[in-house]
Structure 1
Amino acid sequence: MKVKEVYRRHDISAAIYFDWRSRYGGMSAQALHRLKELEGDLSQCGQTPAESARENSALKALTEPKT
């Protein structure tokens, strides 16, 4: 089966297919499953690490005594 037939059968564009292939093409099924788990955990967190760090520094600045 040719690549064109695959993305036509699944109703996706060639750009989407090749983007997916560049991101996940070399991964094993186990690694891909783990990546999806981690992405799900991160989305449940609600904050990115940068947002958390910014919030922590703001709280620290508020709680420190002024000199």
Structure 2
Amino acid sequence: MNAEAAIPVESPRPRWRRRIAILARRSSLIAWIETVVALVLAGTIIASYLIVSSHAAEEAMVTPLLGATL
């Protein structure tokens, strides 16, 4: 066997869908925890952006309590 590289296979599904399918098949606890943490991080970033951008549209400063919460 003297293959230079693996032959690329074009798949109709994007890479992230294939990874989710692999995670579902393996069903390991650590992988699920990592997925949940990534989703929580994305949700936190989106919520923070929406809160700050709503205050920026009003040209009002963020209150100290809201700033500490963020």
Higher RCO (CA 8 Å, separation ≥ 6 residues): 2
Normalising by the smaller structure, the TM-score range is 0.3 to 0.5
TM-score with structure 1 setting the length: 0.34
More helix by share: 1
TM-score with structure 2 setting the length: 0.33
